[in-house]
Structure 1
């Protein structure tokens, strides 16, 4: 699901492996050939709990390397992927959230952390999860 400036209509579809994050937002290539520009991106990535097997995240491991433990990325306290403006929740945030990461309680915990990061200046956010 993606939304762009002024576009409140959600776009559902499968993302291809072409995407770019720049100062104006995300540029996405979809499997149907459609190109989308958006400022927010919400993904449902299935049940694979190995970040190295996620087609959309694998290139990010090359461009923005991150420590991985047993397939799970070591995110910041606010579930950010290092210095990149990408936040993860669900199973891939299990190292920071704990065993509830994949259920509703974990989703609530993760969303609280992400919202906190979005409203707090980055200078006041620790980079290492505690």
Structure 2
């Protein structure tokens, strides 16, 4: 078979392979177990560096409650532990707020970022 005839054949086979892959369906995302769950309200200040981190963690917790990854009593404990962190953030004590939040994350098994950051030089729960 000449090279001129082989190229269209190879291209046709490649396209056929792509078409068969496209017909495979991905699994549908899991629907929230508790989509109407009552989530807590925290007055997180967004002008402080700690505000974004606290807000992100609260969003994770809200989502975990809605999807059933945590139950309501555990969610309530986490939110109650975050209240002092929110108060420290409101008082412009970002270092303290993030340290308190990271300690809560550790207690409940959530990952804590490692490394240097504007307010994460060290945290109270982790030492120096």
TM, length-normalised to structure 1: 0.23
More helix by share: 2
- By relative contact order (CA 8 Å, sep 6+), the higher-ranking structure is 2
Structure with more of its chain in strand, by fraction: 1
TM-score (norm 2): 0.24
